[in-house]
Structures are given as C-alpha cells and as structure tokens.
Structure 1
Amino acid sequence: MKTIKTLALTCAIAVGLVSCSDNDNNDSIIQNETKVLFTSNNADGNVNVYNVTNINSVMKSTLETSATAADGIYYDGSEDLIVQASRSTLGLEGYAGVSIMSSAINATVTASIMSGLNMSSPREVAVNGDFYVVADNADADGIDITKDGRLFIYTKSGSNFTLRNIITTDIKLWGITFIGNDLYAVADTTNELAVYSNFLNNTSTTTLTASKQIAIEGIVRTHGLTYDSMTDTMILTDIGDADSGTDGGFHVIENFNSKFNNTANGATLAVNQQTRVAGSNTVLGNPVDVAYDGSTKTVFIAEAKNGKILAFNNINTGGNITPVYSADLAAASAVYFYKE
C-alpha cells in the first residue's frame, strides 16, 4: 500500500482528474501539480478534502468520521495522516492511510491515533516537528472578565499522542501558528496578535505572558491566521460583528517579519502596511480560519456564518472582490493547505 507516497495521494484525491504512473519522470510532474485543501467543520465533524490543483476544476472527497464537530486540522504528508481537533470528544484524532481511503467520493474512517480527552473547547492546531499544540478557547479560570485560554502541548510518538504540558495564556485564544520556534496567536475578542517566543521551551504546566503583542489596524475581531515562510506573508481574518453575516474580511501582511519586528510592543501595525479584502462581493461574514498558497497568492477561507469554503486569488489590490471558488460547507471551521 502506497499510503505515504505523494503519487498515491495525487491519484486518490484527484478522483480521475489526472492519470498516474509509477514512472519516475511522471511522478515528478504529478507531484508538482498536487495541491490539496483539508477542511473540518462543526456541523458533522467530517473531513472534506478538496483537490485544488486546478482552482477552476475542484474535486471533493469526504471522509466520514465518528466526530460530530471538529475544528483545527493538519495533514502530515510524510505519514499520510490527517489530524483534527474533535470538539465532540475533546481530543486529537488522527486518520492514517487517507490516500487509500479518499479514493472514493465518500469513505468512512476510524481514528488510528488519539490523544487523551483533555480539552474543553479545542480550536486551532499548530504543529512543530512531533509537537502538536491545540488552542483551547474555554474560560481557563472561570472568571468572565479575565482574558485567558489554554494551549495543550502533545507529543506524537508512533501511534500515540501524549499530553506533555498545558500553558495558560494571558489572552483569549483561537488561531495559532508557528514561525520557527515562536508561536503566534490571535487575541480573540480583539484586533491583536501575540507571540510566545521559543514556545516549546516551556516544558512545565504554567501560566505564560506573551513576549510581544500588537494591534492590527482595520481589524475588528480576529480569529484565523496563517503564515507562508516562502513569501514571508501573514494573513489574519476579521470576523467583525460575530452576529453579522456580511462584515467579515481578511488582511494580507507581506514582509511580515520586518513589519512585526518594527512595531513596538503594545503599538499598532498601520492599515496602510496591509491589504484588506472585505465587502458584500466577498461572502465573508465570520471567516474563522485561513490557509494560503504563496506560489499563486491564493487565499482559502473557512467561512462559518455563511457555511462556505472560499478561495481568492485576485488579492493584490484588496477591496470588495469576488471569490474565484465557493463551495457550501455548513459550519466550516478550519482549513489546511498542502502541496507537493
């Protein structure tokens, strides 16, 4: 079984879009064309897999899981393993051999690797090597007026996720992502972005203060974020008024590292250093997560309020632009982009 080969992933998820061969030269061509978007949702907990190699001819497969709601999602190509944070079991669940299982339009999958059921309200997942970090946005201390959350740090070894430690934060949590060894996190209910430097060096269960925290001008309430190291681009979503289905958007920050470093702790990154996409044509109401293909400047959005997976590739000038791709997905909660 070629469960960890890109060839198998390409053949299975493309569902007939391309022909496959074991010829090494053909493998190289096919590998360069493989682009896949993994998504989770809070309506049925299934994993939906979109082949987005050609954004004008997207094919979808569905992996039916035992979860009834899920959030953060990640794909490990070296192990052909999908991992998502289950909001129904409150643990991490991993599904191995997805290349084989997703060869059908719909397939039922069983978790082959699970963590303990430790969390209260898991959201985004960020991965650094064998460390899987999950943001939990439940009130950590039971006091509504205090801003806090928890980061659950799991280590993966073989077919096991082991909880190493729990970090209580000084911000409410939602989206998280690694840049090197630093963990960036949105401060939920605000327009702020925080970083915890050398995050994984904190090996005990403790409370941690952000190393730096800045405001992002133009955002009302941020939720999702993603970083592309090849282009040094950070993208953050803005859900605006959570009850509205029309006032969402996202911000693209190119040359992110220099802009973040040049913004003092507690200061604001000016909107003129960003590109904002928002407006009635975008279908953005509550964009809760984002993924990015830096090679084509394509932004993928999990739009929760309007139940959509959206893609934008005409983002250079920002503004009220129309998605180049839109698919219904009730209570869309997370997206993860993978390419080979």
Structure 2
Amino acid sequence: MHPTTVRACTVHAAGDLRIEERPAAAPGPGEIAVAITLGGICGSDLHYYHRGRVGDFAVREPMVLGHEVVGHVAALGPGSTGPAVGTPVAIHPATPCGGCPECAAGRRNICGHTRYLGSAAHLPHVQGGFAERVTVPAAQIRALPPGLTLNRAVLAEPLSVALHAVNRAGDVRGKRVLVTGAGPIGCLVVAALRHRGAAEIVASDLVDEPLRIAAEVGATATVRAGRPEDPAWTAPFDITIEASGAPAGLRTCVERARRGGTVVLLGLLPPGEVGLLGNVAVTRELDLRGAFRFDTEFDEALSLLAQGLPVDPVITHTFPLDRATEAFDLAGNRELASKVLLNLSTS
C-alpha cells in the first residue's frame, strides 16, 4: 500500500535543516516510486545547508535535499515500464527538456530547463531524494548491474561528475595531470584518471586526510597546497582539473598548466566575479573548459563500479536519517570525513 507521508531531510534556509513529514506522491503514468536506502551528501547539499545557496542558486522555499540516491523499486505507475518491484536501482537525477538546442546537440547536461533532484535552480524547486520514498520519471531509473551493491552504487552520481570532467579534459592517456581539491569529487576524478590511463596524477589539498584517500584511489603523488617547494610541482602539467571550488585552486590550475595545456573548471566557485590569471591563459594559450554535471556517464559509472573500480575509501561514514544534522556537520569537516551517507531505509 502506498504511504500517505514520508520522512525527509529538508532545508528551509541557511543553517535550518529539518527532518519532517511530507506528502508521498503515488507514481502516475510513466513514473516509478523508489524506496530510498542510501543517499550521499554532496558538496552542493552542504552549500544549501550552510549558506542557503549553491553558486547563484538560492533556497527560496523548503526543499528536500539529495541527488545521490539508491534504493529498491516500490511501485510502478499506470502504464509505466521499468524494473520490477523490489529491484535494486540507482536514480539518474536529471530530466533534461529534450527540445532545446543543447539537448539536440547531445549536451543534455547543460540544458537550461533540466529538472535536477534537490536543486534550487528553478522555482518551484525540484525536491530531492533524501526521503524514505521518491517518485520520478521511469527514464531516470537504472537497475543495478549484477553484483553491484547499493553501498557502492551510491557513488554513481559523483563518479559520473568525475567522468564527465575527465571527458572534458580530452585524451588523458600518458598525460601528467593535476587535480586541485581532494574532496569526494576530486578523489573520484583521480580514480577516473587512473582508469583512463593518465601517467602521473598529482592531487593537492590543504588537508592531509583527503590526500591520504586520493593516494588510495590512484594518485601517484600528493601535495599540500601552499608548499611550492614540493618536488611534485617541479614540472608543468598537461592537464589541470580544478575540483575544490576555491579561487586559489583555480589560480593554481592556471599557473601550473604547461603552455598549450588544458584547464578544466569543475568545482563551483563562489557567487559573483572571481579573479583569473587572464594574461597567463592568453600567453600560454591555455584551453579553459567548464565541466557541469554529466549525462550518459551515469551508466558508465554504474558499469565501472560493478567491475570493481577501487573507490571504496571515498565513503567514510553512514548515519541514520534521524541524525542528518550530525551527518551534515561531519561531512563539512574535511579533516575527519570524505563521503558521508544517510541511511533512509525504513526496514
């Protein structure tokens, strides 16, 4: 029987995170309801919690957070086709419009009309996946490959972001690559680079614990930011990927890229204008490329996770939904935690 309400993790404003009862929508035609088991707390969720906004997207109404979610099919709407009830699934968080020039060009990840779980980009906001039960279009549902557990599948969304950033960098085989920021996304970028054949992968961060994890998932060297004497800095990089969202990280990426190199901007920077070493970019003829979300990489991510891509060290903690505030506070402590999960299972 379909429940009338579910518990959900909702942000109302900066610093105002609540576990509250919300109406449970029954799946309509073309929709599937999923009983959520696990959800990963993303950097954007933390920004909504701490600052009430992500970049230029501000919270203007209560919003259920979360877009890295996995669980089991609970019900199919009338006429819906998809995995049978009980099947373990992951949810692709994006629903592009399908009719804009970007969608027509195969760049659905930058569709300006995309509905993305747990996003304040539009009003009304798109409610997210940190709820005991979520209803989404059937096209967003992916049955897990054989042998892939929910505990690993929950990394599919952030790994997709990482894979898209590496795709934007171009062919990385045999290249020397710098990744600034060794948070969960940065570490998954490292793992993706290793899988794609990068020869050297240097990860930099201000904190030791993220660098330890980066080394476990494939970094050939790690560097504490702010230590220019470190020998890992001695040669310029073919490719630099900014995954910290910090202006200092962007500066480092531009400074450390070789002449004719590529700089990928992945981390969302603070709102407004951010300083850029424009003359360096011009005189070295650097390619600056943005990387936003992902599209078909989601299916590749699930396949790689099923094949055993070594990313398990990225997950460090799991909390029940009732302790969501504690989980969010820990997730923001980079000296202690990397990817923190919420367990939303009611069983």
Task: Give TM-score, length-normalised by structure 2.
Answer: 0.24
Q: Which structure carries more strand by proportion? A: 1
Q: Which structure carries more helix by proportion? A: 2
Task: Give TM-score, length-normalised by structure 1.
Answer: 0.25
The one of the two structures with greater contact order (alpha-carbon pairs below 8 A, sep at least 6) is: 2
